[in-house]
């Protein structure tokens, strides 16, 4: 007899192999997409740090800041004092709900300009996904050297990023 075609067993085995291959490809794709998203978030957090650092250091040079001091009554705000005695505040602002000119999130406000902390507009119950840890840490050495540091933390990445500024 001349038998042409596939047997049922051959079809089942072929179909099973295709399902296994497709299943592993889907798993790989999902894992890869998650890693790409994490790297994108890391990049945004580092860009935030670089933007803030560059902006403030440019002003330290051009406006000739002489000292840093805490704002009255809070450690969520510091003032950069220039050679003419003018104050340039840097403060942490938590916007808990959307309003007309700001969306919800954690902002770093420097001299009247708001910089949104990446991923801080995503809420995990009552805590932001990305938020500042503690407040500003200001150290003064001999009334001439000022070190300011502040740290922000990303919950999903479980990573801390620190910004350190020095005025001499």
Beta-bridged to residue 89, according to DSSP, are 79
DSSP state of 1: -
Backbone φ and ψ for 145, nearest 5 degrees, come out as: -120, 125
Burial bucket for residue 44 (CB in 10 Å: 0-12, 13-18, 19+):
middle
SS3 content of the chain, % helix, strand, coil (to 5): 35, 40, 30
Per DSSP, the three-state class of 58 is helix
Look at residue 90 in the predicted model and tell me its pLDDT: 93
Domain range summary for the chain, segments of one domain joined by +: 54-167
Per DSSP, the three-state class of 126 is coil
pLDDT by position in tens, the chain (length 168)? 566 777 888 889 999 999 999 999 998 888 888 888 889 989 999 999 999 999 999 998 888 888 889 988 887 899 999 889 999 999 988 877 767 677 788 889 998 899 988 887 766 555 667 888 878 888 988 878 889 998 988 888 888 989 998 888
- Given a contact cutoff of 8 angstroms between Cβ atoms, the answer to whether 106 and 130 are in contact is yes
Per DSSP, the three-state class of 113 is strand
Q: Tell me the C-alpha to C-alpha distance, in Å, between residue 79 and each of 44, 68, 103, 117.
A: 26, 6, 25, 20
Look at residue 118 in the predicted model and tell me its pLDDT: 86
Backbone φ and ψ for 70, nearest 5 degrees, come out as: -65, 145
Those residues whose C-beta lies under 8 Å from the C-beta of residue 109, and which sit 6 or more positions away, are 89, 90, 91, 92, 93, 115
- Given a contact cutoff of 8 angstroms between Cβ atoms, the answer to whether 89 and 97 are in contact is no
- Given a contact cutoff of 8 angstroms between Cβ atoms, the answer to whether 89 and 104 are in contact is no
Look at residue 110 in the predicted model and tell me its pLDDT: 93
């Amino acid at each position: 007899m001349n038998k042409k075609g596939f047997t049922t067993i051959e079809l089942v085995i072929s179909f099973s192999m295709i399902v296994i291959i497709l299943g592993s490809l889907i798993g790989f794709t999902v894992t890869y997409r998650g890693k790409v998203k994490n790297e994108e978030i890391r990049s945004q957090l580092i860009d935030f740090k670089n933007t803030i650092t560059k902006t403030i250091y440019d002003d330290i040079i051009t406006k000739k800041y002489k000292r840093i001091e805490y704002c009255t009554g809070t450690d969520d705000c510091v003032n950069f004092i220039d050679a003419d005695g003018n104050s340039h505040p840097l403060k942490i602002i938590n916007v808990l709900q959307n309003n007309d000119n700001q969306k919800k999130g954690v902002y770093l406000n420097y001299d009247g300009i708001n910089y949104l902390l990446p991923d801080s507009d995503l809420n995990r119950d009552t805590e932001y996904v990305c938020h500042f840890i503690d407040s500003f840490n200001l150290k003064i050495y001999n009334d001439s050297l000022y070190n300011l540091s502040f740290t922000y933390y990303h919950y999903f990445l479980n990573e801390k990023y620190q910004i350190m500024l020095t005025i001499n």
